[in-house]
A and B are shown apart, each in its own frame.
Chain A
Amino acid sequence: MDWWLEVSVPVENEAAEAVADVLSRYAYRGVVIEAGPEGWNAGPVVVKAYLPADDQLRANKRRIEEALWHLGQIRPVSAPTFRSVAEADWAKAWKERLNVLHVGRHIVIRPSWRDYTPTPGDIVIRLDPGMAFGTGLHPTTQMCLVALEEMIYPGAEVLDMGTGSGILAIAAAKLGAGQVLAVDNDPIAVGTARGNVMINGVQETVSVVRGSLAEVSGSYDLVVVNILSKVIVEMMGEGLATRVRPDGVLIAAGILADQGAEVVTAMERRGLALVEQRQRGDWVCLVAKQGYFSG
């Protein structure tokens, strides 16, 4: 999707929810209500929503205009205004914030639009995160990168569940992994990850597939899962632990500190033993081992 139609409706605060409800019927994934710096009680707010530029666009635009007209018979509602917004425009705004980043001892994350002259020993990962997770900026990603750097050994077989931009899978390959399977259930992420694998020249080592844990067979020396605590707990129930070889390691992240205990319980129930818990800000990264105890 290259562009979207933005719908804006200025409205009194009290009518905002009714207008938001109308827009949310046709909008992509929800609506936005914007107030100025004075907050909600300082005059009108603007309700905004985005329509994908597909074959339903014209019909959805008309339905919104009609529904707002009807709503306007009950309470004052301004006519909507429309403008097209290009995906590149908002992606650019946050791309400008991404700079070359050093993580751990040797890893350097280089956004594909930035220049960088490597120094000896640098392990440079070129990255175009697109619309996927994994820019290297977030503490969870950084903790995973550091853990990978410490734990990967030459030839190790690695599974990266929820690969996003592919950052961890590519790092694993560049740190010496023999084979890396990168999995994501989001088609946008899979496309982005494949692109990043190519620009890093690690396509011989890293395979990116769309799917879930059910599509993964075999077991791995190192499994990394940087998603969310709830998803990780669910994956434990679906057999994530059996994908970790005896003596293998699981690195789990994307977990808020107060959610860590729940994930540890789920791991221990499946025979994994927590060997280390790292924390940065509100986030924790758990390192667990398979086959530590027999019972």
Chain B
Amino acid sequence: MKKIKAVVKLQIEAGKANPAPPVGPALAQHGINLMQFCKEYNARTAGQIGNIIPAEITIYHDKTFKFVLKTPPTPDLLRKAAGVERGSAEPNREKVGSITRAQLEEIAKLKMKDLNAISLEGAIRQIEGTARSMGIEIVD
């Protein structure tokens, strides 16, 4: 089995990877073929332009890599559900919006496989934490 050097997740817009930051500096330091990644990422995400589609890249010591596409970042899903453009700059003081418990559960189900949570309850707790960090409240 090939030895893993690092695991890197890029959260970038579908279809728009190029050698500029963050892709360039993030991948070049590991010596992998930047253009190969960009071309393949763009081809595989071309149908989802406009969304942030994370790519989880496993980089091996021999400078080869493989990547899988992931579900959109939790904050993106929370913002869409709450109908707000951005999270709060001061989440400890200022709330920017709210989502229902049903919406929270829906996001948790979608994100479940990417969160390494062992149960739906665990996933819900993690999403709740992220919502709180963005000034988005959960209402019953």
Residue numbers in B under 8 Å from A78 (CB-CB): none
Q: Check if A277 is an interface residue, CB within 8 A of chain B.
A: no
Instruction: Check A138 against B39 for contact (C-beta < 8 Å).
Output: yes
Q: Check if A48 is an interface residue, CB within 8 A of chain B.
A: yes
Q: Check if A220 is an interface residue, CB within 8 A of chain B.
A: no
Instruction: Check A49 against B19 for contact (C-beta < 8 Å).
Output: no
Q: Check if A163 is an interface residue, CB within 8 A of chain B.
A: no
Instruction: Check A29 against B8 for contact (C-beta < 8 Å).
Output: no
Q: Check if B16 is an interface residue, CB within 8 A of chain A.
A: yes
Q: Check if B96 is an interface residue, CB within 8 A of chain A.
A: no
Q: Check if A196 is an interface residue, CB within 8 A of chain B.
A: no
Q: Count A-B contacts at CB 8 Å.
A: 165
Distance from A293 Cβ to chain B, minimum over Cβ atoms (Å): 29
Majority secondary structure, B binding face: mixed
Having A34-B26, A40-B7, A91-B28, one finds 6 other A-B pairs with CB under 8 Å, namely A14-B126, A27-B22, A29-B22, A70-B92, A94-B19, A133-B18
Question: Given A67-B89, A131-B24, A138-B36 in contact, is the A39-B15 Cβ separation under 8 Å?
Answer: no
Residue numbers in A under 8 Å from B5 (CB-CB): 37
Residue numbers in B under 8 Å from A256 (CB-CB): 43-44
Most A CB contacts (10 A, CB to CB) among B3, B46, B47 go to B46
Residues of A within 8 A of B (CB-CB), count: 64
Instruction: Check B26 against A32 for contact (C-beta < 8 Å).
Output: yes
Residue numbers in A under 8 Å from B13 (CB-CB): 29-30
A residues neighboring B (CB under 8 Å): 1, 4, 6, 13-15, 17-18, 20-22, 24-25, 27-37, 39-41, 48-50, 63, 66-67, 70-71, 73-75, 85, 87, 89-91, 93-94, 97, 129, 131, 133, 135, 137-138, 140, 186, 188, 228-231, 254-256, 259, 282
Instruction: Check B22 against A31 for contact (C-beta < 8 Å).
Output: yes
Question: Given A20-B73, A30-B52, A32-B26 in contact, is the A138-B35 Cβ separation under 8 Å?
Answer: yes
Residue numbers in A under 8 Å from B9 (CB-CB): 32-35
In Å, the complex CA distance between A110 and B3 comes to 32
Residue numbers in A under 8 Å from B46 (CB-CB): 228-231
Residue numbers in A under 8 Å from B90 (CB-CB): 67, 70
Q: Check if B21 is an interface residue, CB within 8 A of chain A.
A: yes
Distance from A9 Cβ to chain B, minimum over Cβ atoms (Å): 13
In Å, the complex CA distance between A97 and B12 comes to 25
Instruction: Check B22 against A30 for contact (C-beta < 8 Å).
Output: yes
Instruction: Check B35 against A71 for contact (C-beta < 8 Å).
Output: no
